[in-house]
Structure 1
Amino acid sequence: MIKNDLPYLTAFTSLIGLAVPYAVLGAGFQVQEQSVKGLGNAFAGGSAIAEDGSTVMSNPAGLVRLPAQTEFGVHIISPNTEFKDRNSSNGIGGPTTGKLSDDGGAIAAVPNFYYTRPINDKLSFGFGISTLYGLATEYDRNWIGRYHAVKSELITININPALAYKVDEHLSLGFGLSAQYADATLSNALDFGTLGYLDGIPEATPSTPALDGFSELTGDDWGFGFNLGLLYQISPSTRFGLAYRSQIDHSLEGNNTLTIPDFAIPLAGPSRSRGGSADITTPATLSLSAYHELDHRWAVMAD
């Protein structure tokens, strides 16, 4: 009998649907937009340029080059995605119905704030708040890939104080601490049409959007890490930067809300919310950059 196993099958289906968004999250969710000024040079030479407050994030050693200043900026990210189906099928081998294509790109605002101040001739302080990692995609609830993902959103806020020390006229070193808040929402549809069809419910038809259930997992967490930097000035016009940022581990704790269609309540029980958790790690990064000023108008940067 399938009936007794449906509550467990529901949870299992939910987990399978959530696995795909997490694979996407890990594939490419780094946010490069740390500086409005840096956008003009495609963020090249980030660890060596040290010309604005974003050096708190990119290479804290560069703080020794900056005056006292406060900066604020906002980037608007508007991705455009396209999906085309190639013979999707459900768990019993039949076709999955739904919208054949959909743009899941979601507009996101990415703000940043920086404050820098020299303490003395050798020591400088910096403070930054920005988003280092994030992802936002949202599809219609009736799109053909709804059993994999509907809404996948990860928001992080990184709070980063840092200090830089000028060893001599050529070398400076930097160190920062990161307190990172992460908030995630992951949702997908549940194919109760197919489950009801297998259980012999007359009105149930496989993979029908109107008969779907829905799973939404939300959670948040604080994680902690650090960043290190080295800046070496070869000449007044040439410098190199080396920067490292540690990985940060998050264990998101929150709720998993299941919405069950009326016809499936005898099989799986009423809609409910239960505790849920998921692990996300923002990866460590290592960058090496070069900056060379050709004249007062032109410079060459490389990573």
Structure 2
Amino acid sequence: MYSSRSGFVKEFRSVLLVSVFTPLVASAGGLSNSDQSASTSAVSNAGSVANPENASTIFFNPAGMSQLSGTNISLGAIVFEIDAVGRDSQTSATRANGDPVVGDGGGDHVKTFAVPNAYLTHEVNDWLDVGLGVYVPYGLGFDYGDAFAGRYIGDEIELVSYGVSPSFAVNSGEGFSLGGSINVLYADAEQRNPVDFSGIESRFSLPRGTLNDGYATLEGDDVALEFTVGLLWQATPETSLGLAARTGTEFNLKGTGTINNFPTLSASGLTQTTVSEQIEVPITIPQSLSVGLAHQWSDTLELLAGATWAKWSDASALSVVSREKTPAAFPAEQPSEEQVQSWKDTWQWRVGAIWQVAPTWSLKAGYLFDESPVTIETRSPLTPFDDYHQVSLGAQIRDLAGDWTVDMFVARVFYEGDISIDYKATDPLQGQTSFKSEYDVVPWTAGLQLSREF
């Protein structure tokens, strides 16, 4: 039945291209989390690179620190409540041998979570400002449950990153400012899901049910550097223009991959054992460019606009790679480019307004349209994203409890219909070969920011 154990293992490795790649926090922009301050989220981040209200400008455009006086602190958190439910009646899947997968749509698979942020800036002299930001820039997390029909593609995954950004800004004294940040990023990921061995049974003419399903647990982390460069121009007393570029980076998550019930050949025949290997998973964070405009239309009304381009075509559905000299369970190299479907570059467009209702408080509103890097051809349960619209409302109250400024907001995302998934594996022996479903997704976000100048 088998020519050799090594031949069996070689065939089997092509089955286990287990993906641990991205995106967070139900953001259609792939991994990116652009909600880093309630003061800017209240206007859907419109004009965020041109309108430095507080120390959180470190994240959006470090050049904005030149517009702040003295020492500034800004602390906040954003809460994400995402109702994401797969429709059981629209969900179907097949295993590698063609048999249907018994299961449901995964239920409400995204938990409520909060993302903190903290920023500090200091005016050294008339031309130099320095600062430090701490935030959560990228991530992804969901848990579909054991009965999910797409469990062989992805069941439970968590990817979170933390950023620390020492920053500087210099200004010419004539309306021009230049800023930069060194973004030290740490990422930690974990994925767990069953493994479909029915393709192995078919390949070696074994009776159905000979092999029990496996269960994979993948863990890895890494540290990477990213750089931000920003420009700010106070064109007129009423109008400012901003530009910020992020270099992007690549995490190479290194850790351990373990598969239970892994088929193994021995002198006594075919058995299933636990196999652990040192693995790595490359994750590309794309470069991006943001532009923004802030214009004081009247004494009480400020108008904001902005756009961000991100090169998500540099990212794709990458696979786990073994770091062992003689790998048994995971492939020794990435699949060929023909087997990897790349994502697409994206644009995000934003407009917003701030209405100064009274000297100490104002109302905010914003709108954005965000393109998804994932198309219907590349969408899967691991990347259930689509284009979306967002509407945000917020308020700002100044001079509270010792000159503190409080920002608060709430935002709702609207998709253009249900999110449809029609996934097919690029390799017919790669475990589960198809998955179809429709998701009802209703995301809400809300946040609070406390800022003060000392």
Query: TM-score when scaled to structure 2?
Result: 0.59
Tell me the CA shift for residue 182 of structure 1.
Answer: 1.0
Residue 220 of structure 1 corresponds to 221
Amino acid at match of 2:233: Y
Letter in 1 for 2:219: T
Contact 2:294-2:302 at 8 Å conserved across structures: yes
Kindly tell me: are residues 280 and 194 of structure 1, through their superposed partners in 2, closer, same or farther at Cα, counting changes over 3 Å? closer
Residue 15 of structure 2 is aligned to residue 13 of structure 1: yes
> Which one of 149, 161, 179 corresponds to residue 166 of structure 2?
161
2:11 and 2:101 mapped to 1: Cα distance?
A: 19
Matches within 5 A, 1:99-178: 99-178=104-183
Deviates more, 1:23-32 or 1:158-167: 23-32
| 2:47 counterpart residue number | 45
| CA distance in 2: counterparts of 1:82 and 1:243, whole angstroms | 36
Taking the aligned partners of 1:10 and 1:189, their CA distance within structure 2 comes to 16
Aligned residues: percent identity? 29
Could you tell me which amino acid in structure 2 is paired with residue 164 of structure 1? Answer: A
- Deviation, structure 1 residue 279: 0.4
Q: Give 1:251's aligned amino acid.
A: N
For residues 40 and 153 of structure 2, the distance between their equivalents in structure 1, rounded to whole angstroms, comes to 36
Distance 1:27 1:12 in 2: 30
Q: Where does residue 33 of structure 2 map in the other structure? A: 31
Alignment partners' CA distance in 2, 1:149 and 1:143? 9
CA distance in 1, matches of 2:153, 2:122: 48
Distance 1:237 1:99 in 2: 56
Deviations 1:172-207 (A, max 9, x none): 1111111111111123211246756876468x289x
Q: Which whole-Å CA distance do the structure 1 matches of 2:279 and 2:262 have between them?
A: 21
Matches of 1:11 and 1:200, distance apart in 2: 17
Question: Aligned letter for 2:55?
Answer: G
What is the rounded CA distance, in whole Å, between the counterparts of 1:140 and 1:278 in structure 2? 24
1:22 is aligned to 2:24: no
Give the direction of change, closer, same or farther, for the CA distance of 1:148–1:96 in structure 2 (3 Å limit).
Answer: same
Which stretch shows the higher mean deviation, 35-44 or 143-152?
35-44
Deviations 1:37-67 (A, max 9, x none): 2121111111001111111111111001113
SS in 2 for 1:32: coil
Distance change (3 Å), C-alpha of 1:88 and 1:120: same
Aligned position for 1:75: 78
Sort the Cα spacing of 1:149 and 1:167 in 2 relative to 1 into closer, same or farther, 3 A. same
Distance in 2 separating the partners of 1:174 and 1:137:
36
User: Taking structure 1 as reference, are residues 118 and 112 closer, same or farther at Cα in structure 2, changes over 3 Å only?
Assistant: same
Q: How much has 1:268 moved relative to structure 2?
A: 4.9
- Structure-2 change in CA distance of 1:97 and 1:58 (3 Å): same
Of 287, 290, 306, which aligns to 1:287? 290
CA positional deviation for 1:278: 0.6
Of the candidates 285, 303, 314, which is equivalent to residue 300 of structure 1? 303
1:90-105 superposed matches below 5 A: 90-105=95-110
Contact 1:14–1:215 (CA<8 Å) still a contact in 2?
no
Question: Per the alignment, do residues 32 and 282 of structure 1 end up closer, same or farther by CA in structure 2, a change over 3 Å counting?
Answer: same
Q: State the Cα distance separating 1:285 from its structure 2 match.
A: 1.0
Rounded Cα–Cα distance in structure 2 between residues aligned with 1:188 and 1:7? 21
Residue 270 (structure 1) aligned to one of 265, 269, 273: 273
1:207-260 Cα deviation digits (max 9, x unpaired): xxxx43211211001111211111000122210001111111111100001122
Tell me which residue corresponds to 2:233.
232
C-alpha separation in 2, matches of 1:239 and 1:115? 23
**Structure 1's 155 and 50: CA in aligned 2 closer, same or farther, altered over 3 A?**
same
Gaps of 5+ in 2: 307-454
Aligned to 1:254: 255
Q: Distance in 1 between matches of 2:146 and 2:129?
A: 51
Say if 1:90 and 1:302 are closer, same or farther in 2 by CA, change over 3 A.
Answer: same
* Structure 1: segments with no counterpart, 5+ residues: none
Question: Structure 1 pair 152/93, CA: closer, same or farther in 2 (3 Å)?
Answer: same
- 1:23 deviates by 6.0
* Counterpart AA for 1:28: G
Conserved in 2, the CA contact under 8 Å of 1:10 and 1:268? no
Q: Secondary structure at the match of 1:272?
A: strand
Using CA pairs under 8 Å that are at least 6 residues apart, name the structure with larger relative contact order, 1 or 2: 2
Alpha-carbon deviation of 1:22?
2.3
SS of 1:267's equivalent in the other structure is: strand
CA distance in 1, matches of 2:137, 2:115: 10
* CA deviation vs aligned residue, 1:126-160 (integer Å, no higher than 9, x gap): 11011111111221122100010012222111111
What SS does the aligned partner of 1:38 have? helix
> How many Å separate the matches in 1 of 2:245 and 2:137?
14
| Contact 2:140/2:158 (8 A) holds in 1 | yes
Which structure has more strand as a fraction of its residues?
Answer: 2
Amino acid at match of 2:256: N
Q: Distance in 1 between matches of 2:118 and 2:76?
A: 7
Aligned residue identity for 1:179: V
The one-letter code sitting in structure 1 at the alignment partner of 2:254 is: E
Give me the TM-score of the superposition, normalised by structure 1.
0.87
Are 2:91 and 2:149, in contact at CA under 8 Å, matched by a contact in 1? no
| Conserved 8 A contact 1:108-1:136 | no
Return the alpha-carbon distance in structure 1 between the equivalents of residues 102 and 200 of structure 2. 15
Number of matched pairs: 295
